[in-house]
Amino acid sequence: MKSFSSLLGPALGALGAAAVLLSPGEARADGEHWVSPGLMLSVSFGDKTNFGLGLDARYAYVLRYQSVGVGAFAQASWLNFSSAGRFAAGLHGGGDLSRALFGLQGEVGWTYRTALGEEHPGGHGVHLGLGGIGMSIIDLVFRGTIPLPGEPSKPEFTIAAGAHFPPMYGMGSLIIEGRPLRVGGRYILPGVARKPRRGGARPVRLDDTTRLALASAWRDDARGECASIPSFLALSRDLAAAGAPRDLVQRALAAAADEARHTRACAAIAGDLASMSLVPELLPAPPPSGLDRTRELSRLCVESWEDGCLGEGAAAERAQRRATGAKEEGMGAALSMIAKDEAQHAELGWRIVQWCLSEGGQPVREALGEAVAASPEGPAREDLPEAEPRAWRAHGRLGRVDIEASWEKNLQMARTTADRMLSARG
């Protein structure tokens, strides 16, 4: 096994480089440990054609909300329904490229196949794999086995189809409070600078688990709100460049200022709960899309539907329900202010959709029709933390039922409005 250990160094180096390439420069997201078991079917070619039925277990350290990660894998396949088998272990890295529709992953490690009878000896080899991930859970991987020097086995090429649940690189989404910041088709959240502070309104009646859960939920709200600032600045710039009416451009700018207020309010509440000073990092606005005007109008229209009419519409509904339940000082007022602003941002979303339809004609109409048909039936998945339910609600948080009801109520109204706009001849 001396030759194997000499290969491990370069392999680890290559995977490290892949991990650096995979981490988005603008993101400062937290990571989490993630385990994902899976099944796979494979056909391999080389010395002999083999059919395999196997298990593929993954561990990954994934960036929360980003669906990218690196980690370790272990695979075992039963070959040709005989006593032969193939085993592999190593490192893998990858992630979703387009909002969970398509992703890529790579593997590097060690593999061993048992003999397939006397004429087909087994042996150790280097395992290399590259593949695509569909809808976060299915994958198609091309793998190569290069025998280690001195091994009697021959090189092999394998095509494997598999399924993993939960997904290999995390569930990837959260409910973002405010208009999300899209960079390269991915939602980005800023990091938060934190400083210990003395005193402050540290609540005394909360158990540590609940306090931590509340602080981190409000901190994530602040991150989402802060991400909306560059998002609205970019929207304002792109509307101006596309020749939108002045009031739409100005309302997008004003919305960026609203989001700055929301950021401050949420960060102050999170800071009080954590006895820290929390300041989310202001990220740069994404670059202009570079699309021609018709496509740009379609993009603005679809994004305003998704992020404004659906996203901010549901955020307004949630904030209203949160304000009703919030009993702690200052939280109800902050949430009422956010609810009012988010409703206006959703309304701005509708104004933009309408303007894009009237300017862009049929191609924009078709793009919006497709987006409306593909609207998610439920809100983004979010794991609710363990917390004392009464305190959770009194501190302006919602349970699953209210989160889903907010989405459904807004979706129904939004669909009706969109259908009316789409059926009106413009």
| Cβ distance to Fe ion smaller for residue 181 or 387 | 181
Q: How far is the CB of 98 from Fe ion (least distance, A)?
A: 24
Residue nearer to Fe ion on the CB measure, 260 or 413: 260
> 67-94 in b/e burial notation, b at 16+ Cβ within 10 A?
bbbbbebebbbebeeeebbbbbbbbbbb
Spatial distance between the Cα atoms of 424 and 426, rounded to a whole number of angstroms: 6
Residue 62, Cβ density class (10 Å: 0-12 exposed, 13-18 middle, ≥19 buried): buried
Closest residue (Cβ) to Fe ion?
A: 178
CB of 179 to Fe ion, least distance (A): 5
| Residue nearer to Fe ion on the CB measure, 127 or 262 | 262
338-to-241, 247, 335, 404 alpha-carbon distances in Å = 29, 21, 5, 19
Q: In terms of CB distance, is 64 or 262 closer to Fe ion?
A: 262
Are the C-beta atoms of residues 96 and 67 closer than 8 Å to each other? yes
Single out the residue of 352, 335, 350 nearest to residue 406, CA to CA: 335
C-alpha 315: how far from chain center: 18
Measured distance CA(234)–CA(20) in Å, rounded:
27
Closer residue to Fe ion in complex, CB, 113/318: 318
Between CA 218 and CA 206 the distance in angstroms is: 15
In whole angstroms, how close is the CB of 261 to Fe ion at the nearest point? Answer: 8
Rounded to a whole number of angstroms, the minimum distance from the CB of residue 312 to Fe ion is 5
CB of 60 or CB of 279, closer to Fe ion: 279
Cβ 350 to Fe ion, closest distance in Å?
13
Q: How far is the CB of 416 from Fe ion (least distance, A)?
A: 22
Contact residues: Fe ion, CB under 5 A: 178-179, 225, 259, 262, 312, 342, 345
Q: How many CA atoms lie within 13 A of 142 on its CB side?
A: 3
Q: Which is nearer to Fe ion, 182 or 295 (CB)?
A: 182
Cis amide prior to 166 (ω within 30 degrees): yes
Are 52 and 44 in contact by the 8 Å Cβ rule? The answer is yes
* 116: Cα within 13 Å, side-chain hemisphere: 20
- The least distance separating Fe ion from the CB of residue 99, rounded to whole angstroms, comes to 20
Min. distance of Cβ 303 from Fe ion in angstroms?
A: 13
Question: Both tokens of residue 266?
Answer: 């949420």
Nearer to Fe ion, 84 or 270 (CB): 270
